């Protein structure tokens, strides 16, 4: 069985722990499974099941809300029990079960149930997974550690898109076959988690930013909302910026629906949208993490927000599939850059004993924002057109950039 590097050794030699690599490979396999299912679910709902844009927007928004809301609960539990792996196993089990259920779904409600179980499982395992990375990441390579994990995950997403196309081609557009086969890589990821990933030892090393007050060391973390006061002012300001920004980021389902409706992309080639999207995410994730470690993360965050605005402008004005694809690449780039930087900034600002809680608050913020963003996008697409979704996204992204600018000139979010 592979051994986990000790945090003391990490701080001395700066190497990224083998456990972080293992988690990255697990995420790669889970993303292969997820994208095989997810890249086709929007078109399946609209063209096969007959769901409306409003219904699809509500489904995506609710499922993302459920996923991110569960991340707060699981994060607080992992802080309370001082264990993260067991909670992750429970989450992975739900995600594995959802795939064969989707394969037999023939109505909106069955698809809704399968997607809900998948997102429920994702939410349970997400925060303990991010907290383990924060526990083990060398202090000077926090961004690089999260970037490595995300890069492996995005490579899995690209592979999932390729497999989706191949299986659709081979089975003559049999959606159910794709959904059933998606359970295989998810099950392999679960086995890696159970038999290879070791629970890291916990150490009382402080947060990087001095504005985050520390509870007394070596005292059990209580399962209480009162812990929120220990997260620090800069953490909560960052959460405010993140909330506004995330309301601009509707689900990638709308990218696939736009390719299908506006550019007449056949169903069997729809996974190409997720492949292009993940080219942007995979190419930017690790380099952005390194830039954040070496320079001011807030400035890198500005770059990510500007990428979203540019992506929205390009996709809103796109008249050819090629120009729309450029917008998708930029959409992937901003997703990678902003999520990496937000998570790295949070990892720097929260006490070690409350990392699960802090990440959980972050994901709960994303949950509420995702529900608003997807529901509003569905309404805009139904009332006007799907292209107007990108216009509304761009305007909200501009508002988040202005808020970020005002905050860093008022109360600094930078590292101390």
Cα separation, 382 vs 70, whole angstroms: 29
Least confident window among 90-94, 135-139, 372-376? 135-139
pLDDT band with cut points at 50, 70 and 90 for residue 237: confident
Tell me how many domains the chain contains. Answer: 1
Residue 368: other Cβ atoms inside 10 A: 17
DSSP H/E element including 285: helix 271-294
Residue 202: other Cβ atoms inside 10 A: 15
Within 13 A of 364's CA, how many CA atoms are on the CB side? 14
Q: Does residue 70 form part of some domain? A: yes
Q: Does residue 281 form part of some domain? A: yes
Range of the domain at 76: 14-194+226-410
Tokens 């086995």 correspond to 191
Closest to 139 measured CA to CA, from 206, 204, 215? 206
In this prediction, residues 18-37 reach a mean pLDDT of: 90
pLDDT band with cut points at 50, 70 and 90 for residue 167: very high
45-94 per-position pLDDT tens digit: 888 888 888 888 888 888 878 887 787 778 777 777 777 888 899 999 99
pLDDT band with cut points at 50, 70 and 90 for residue 131: confident
Q: What percent of the chain has pLDDT over 70?
A: 85
| Torsion angle (degrees, nearest 10) of CA 374, 379, 380, 383 | 160
Cα-based angle 135, 138, 140 (whole degrees, multiple of 5): 130
Q: pTM above 0.75? A: no
Max distance between CA atoms of the chain, in angstroms, equals 61
Phi/psi at 14 (5° precision):
70, 15
Q: Does residue 206 form part of some domain? A: no
Q: Which of 5-19, 84-98, 143-157, 215-229 has the highest mean pLDDT?
A: 84-98
Q: What is the pLDDT of residue 150?
A: 78
In this prediction, residues 165-185 reach a mean pLDDT of: 90
Q: Does residue 165 form part of some domain? A: yes
Q: Does residue 390 form part of some domain? A: yes
Least confident window among 52-61, 169-178, 221-230, 242-251? 221-230
CATH of the domain at 117: 1.20.1250.20
Cα separation, 169 vs 156, whole angstroms: 20
Q: What percent of the chain has pLDDT over 90?
A: 25
Find out whether 67 and 126 touch, Cβ atoms under 8 Å. yes
Q: Does residue 54 form part of some domain? A: yes
Q: What is the pLDDT of residue 206?
A: 38
pLDDT band with cut points at 50, 70 and 90 for residue 227: low
Residue 350 has pLDDT above 60, yes or no: yes
Residue 231 has pLDDT above 90, yes or no: no
Find out whether 397 and 312 touch, Cβ atoms under 8 Å. yes
Find out whether 373 and 249 touch, Cβ atoms under 8 Å. yes
In this prediction, residues 103-121 reach a mean pLDDT of: 87
Q: Does residue 203 form part of some domain? A: no
Question: Phi/psi class of residue 50: alpha, beta or left (left: φ > 0; alpha: ψ in -120 to 50)?
Answer: left
Closest to 29 measured CA to CA, from 90, 91, 96? 96
Cα separation, 39 vs 88, whole angstroms: 24
Q: What is the pLDDT of residue 6?
A: 42
Residue 215 has pLDDT above 70, yes or no: no
Cα separation, 72 vs 95, whole angstroms: 18
Residue 249: other Cβ atoms inside 10 A: 23
Q: Does residue 295 form part of some domain? A: yes
Six token digits for residue 324 = 């729309």
Q: What is the pLDDT of residue 320?
A: 94
In this prediction, residues 134-141 reach a mean pLDDT of: 77
């Amino acid at each position: 069985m592979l051994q986990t590097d000790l945090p003391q050794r990490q701080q001395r030699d700066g190497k990224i722990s083998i456990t972080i690599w293992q988690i990255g490979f697990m995420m790669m396999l889970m993303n292969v499974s997820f994208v095989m299912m997810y890249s086709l679910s929007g078109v399946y709902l609209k063209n096969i099941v007959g769901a409306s844009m409003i219904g699809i927007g509500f489904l995506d928004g609710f499922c993302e809300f459920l996923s991110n809301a569960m991340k707060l609960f699981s994060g607080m539990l992992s802080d309370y029990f001082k264990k993260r792996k067991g909670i992750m196993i429970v989450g992975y089990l739900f995600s594995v079960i959802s795939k064969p259920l989707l394969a037999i779904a023939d109505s909106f409600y069955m698809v809704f149930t399968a997607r809900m179980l998948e997102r429920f499982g994702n939410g349970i395992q997400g925060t303990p997974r991010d907290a383990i990375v924060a526990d083990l990441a060398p202090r000077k390579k926090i961004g690089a550690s999260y970037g490595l994990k995300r890069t492996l995950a995005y490579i899995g997403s690209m592979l999932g898109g390729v497999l989706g196309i191949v299986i659709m081609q081979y089975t003559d557009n049999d959606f159910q076959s794709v959904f059933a086969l998606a359970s295989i890589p998810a099950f392999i990821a679960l086995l890696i988690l159970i038999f290879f990933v070791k629970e890291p030892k916990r150490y009382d090393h402080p947060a990087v930013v001095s504005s985050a007050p520390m509870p007394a060391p070596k005292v059990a973390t209580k399962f209480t909302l009162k812990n929120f006061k220990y997260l620090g002012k800069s953490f909560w300001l960052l959460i405010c910026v993140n909330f506004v920004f995330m309301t601009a980021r509707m689900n990638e389902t709308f990218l696939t629906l736009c390719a299908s409706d506006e550019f007449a992309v056949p169903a069997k080639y729809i996974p190409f949208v997720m492949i292009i999207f993940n080219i942007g995410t995979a190419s930017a994730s690790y380099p952005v993490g390194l830039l954040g470690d070496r320079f001011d993360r807030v400035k890198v965050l500005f770059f990510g927000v500007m990428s979203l605005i540019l992506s929205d402008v390009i996709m809103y004005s796109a008249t050819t599939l090629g120009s729309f694809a450029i917008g998708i690449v930029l959409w992937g780039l901003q997703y990678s850059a902003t999520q990496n930087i937000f998570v790295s900034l949070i990892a720097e600002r929260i006490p070690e004993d409350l990392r699960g809680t802090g990440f959980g608050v972050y994901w709960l913020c994303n949950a509420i924002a995702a529900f608003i963003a997807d529901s509003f996008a569905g309404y805009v697409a139904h009332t006007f057109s799907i292209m107007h979704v990108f216009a509304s996204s761009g305007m909200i992204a501009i508002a988040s950039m202005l808020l970020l600018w005002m905050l860093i000139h008022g109360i600094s979010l930078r590292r101390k």
